[in-house]
């Protein structure tokens, strides 16, 4: 992906970049006076045509100011799947290979809840019937999910054997394939996946004022809204990552083990896991109800490209260096959507619809 980003300009320029979303016909663009429509993986309009016609500026799907990329609304594809119920809900999603797994339910159990599997653009099939699932994750060939106060797993290699109950504990916040993180009124703890009880639990951090957590490479990150702390899931190595700042509103966090990605109000930021001052490099799409910028609802790091869904109607991507970004589509709801990555695609969902677009190259 770094090759796709090389040579992209616009670091501190205000206004649209001419090479954002055009096809590779920069020669025609130059003849008409536009700024080199070199084309991008975001897809979009034929960039050079406007220049060849006599100097008109190419329409770009983003603007860059001071290293922060702001996308403009772009039409997206039609859904590849829609729940056959006015009360339907698509929930948590996760990808493996090019297969998508997602939770599906409906108010009043209008349709039976389940974890479904979707391959290509075919009809979803049921993996786990009757599951009111959330926080789907895949580690190796195993799908994990939360249902009520229980962490469960399903062996994907056996094409969906009966779920296994791993841990039952109230207020599970997050987990990986080795640790379950939960809280009570006083503290936040970790316990081993599959532990018979909580006697071996480790106290990690006081629970008071913590608004969000994230796990990456055996480290728990905790935000109180004003700053971020970290602690090992074994209880060691507690430290500050982002110092408290009364002007911040740090909510959603995701770590790829090297960097921590933050939704700070309506800004997408990155900071090294060792700590420092976050750098803002992206904004979400427009707010669905007001003429403003939405906040991020999902953040999916993938090297130099960060994919996301926001709590407006949009899903898209931002280059980590802030040089480019784009909205890949909009979903059918006016509130928070979700997203998942597979090898080839970004999947996104609205209230009862699922969309699929190619990943940015």
Residue 118, CA distances (Å) to 129, 133, 309, 356 in order:
15, 16, 20, 11
pLDDT of residue 78: 93
- Closest Cα partner for 191 from 205, 175, 207? 175
∠179-185-188 over CA atoms, to 5°? 25
C-alpha–C-alpha distance, residues 244 and 262, integer Å: 14
CATH architecture of 81-358: 6 Propeller (2.120)
Given a cut of 70, the residues of the chain with pLDDT beneath it are 1-59, 160, 246-247, 288-291, 334-335
Nearest Cα residue to 83 out of 330, 354, 315, 356: 354
CB 179 within 8 A of CB 192: yes
**Residue 77 CB coordination number (10 Å):** 12
CATH 2.120.10.30 in the chain, residue ranges: 81-358
DSSP 203-257: EEEE-TT--EEEEETTEEEEE-SS-EEEEETTS---EEEE---TT--EEEEEE-S
Instruction: Write down the pLDDT at residue 290.
Output: 66
CB atoms within 10 A of CB 322: 23
What is the structure's pLDDT at 237? 96
Q: Which pTM was predicted?
A: 0.82
- Tokens linked to 86: 């006015």
pLDDT tens-digit map of 278-310? 999 999 998 866 668 889 999 999 999 999 999
At residue 30, the pLDDT reads 34
Query: What is the structure's pLDDT at 60?
Result: 74
What pLDDT score was predicted for residue 120? 78
**99 phi and psi, to 5 degrees?**
-100, 135
Kindly report, residue by residue over 33-71, the tens digit of the pLDDT.
Answer: 333 333 333 333 333 333 333 343 445 789 999 999 999
Q: Which two tokens stand for residue 144?
A: 């994990």
Chain centroid to CA 299: how far? 3
Spatial distance between the Cα atoms of 354 and 361, rounded to a whole number of angstroms: 22
| 116 and 102 Cβ atoms separated by less than 8 Å | yes
Q: Number of C-alpha atoms within 13 angstroms, CB side, residue 126?
A: 11
* Beta strands 202-206; 187-192: pairing state: antiparallel
Question: What CA–CA distance (Å, rounded) separates 195 from 325?
Answer: 43
The first and second tokens of residue 132, run together, are 């009111």
**β-pair type (179-183, 228-232):** unpaired
Contact 349, 102 (CB under 8 A): yes
Residue 43 CA: distances (Å) to CA of 176, 329, 359? 35, 12, 10
């Amino acid at each position: 992906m770094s090759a796709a980003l090389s040579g992209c300009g616009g670091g501190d320029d205000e206004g649209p970049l001419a090479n954002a979303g055009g096809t590779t016909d920069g020669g025609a663009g130059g003849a008409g006076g536009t700024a080199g429509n070199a084309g991008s993986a975001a897809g979009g309009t034929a960039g050079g045509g406007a220049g060849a016609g006599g100097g008109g500026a190419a329409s770009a799907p983003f603007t860059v100011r001071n290293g922060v990329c702001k996308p403009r609304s772009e039409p997206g594809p039609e859904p590849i799947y829609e729940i056959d119920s006015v009360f339907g809900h698509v929930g948590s999603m996760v990808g493996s290979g090019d297969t998508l797994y997602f939770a599906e339910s409906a108010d009043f159990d209008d349709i039976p809840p389940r974890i479904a599997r979707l391959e290509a653009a075919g009809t979803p099939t049921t993996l786990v019937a009757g599951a009111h699932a959330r926080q789907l994750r895949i580690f190796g060939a195993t799908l994990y999910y939360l249902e009520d106060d229980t962490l469960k797993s399903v062996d994907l290699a056996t094409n969906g054997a009966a779920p296994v109950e791993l841990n039952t504990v109230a207020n599970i916040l997050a987990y990986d394939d080795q640790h379950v993180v939960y809280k009570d009124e006083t503290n936040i703890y970790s316990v081993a996946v599959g532990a018979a009880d909580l006697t071996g639990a480790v106290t990690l951090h006081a629970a008071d004022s913590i608004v969000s957590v994230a796990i990456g490479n055996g480290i728990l990150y905790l935000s109180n809204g004003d700053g971020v702390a970290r602690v090992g899931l074994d209880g060691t190595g507690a430290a500050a990552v982002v110092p408290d700042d009364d002007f911040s509103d740090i909510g959603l966090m995701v770590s790829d083990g090297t960097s921590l990605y933050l939704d700070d109000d309506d800004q997408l930021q990155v900071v090294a896991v060792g700590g420092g001052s976050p750098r803002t490099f992206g904004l979400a799409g427009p707010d669905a109800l007001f003429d403003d910028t939405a906040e991020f609802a999902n953040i999916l790091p993938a090297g130099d490209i960060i994919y996301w869904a926001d709590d407006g109607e949009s899903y898209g991507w931002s280059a980590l260096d802030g040089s480019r970004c784009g909205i890949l589509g909009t979903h059918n709801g006016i509130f928070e959507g979700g997203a998942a990555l597979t090898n080839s695609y970004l999947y996104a969902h609205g209230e009862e619809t699922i969309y699929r677009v190619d990943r940015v190259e």
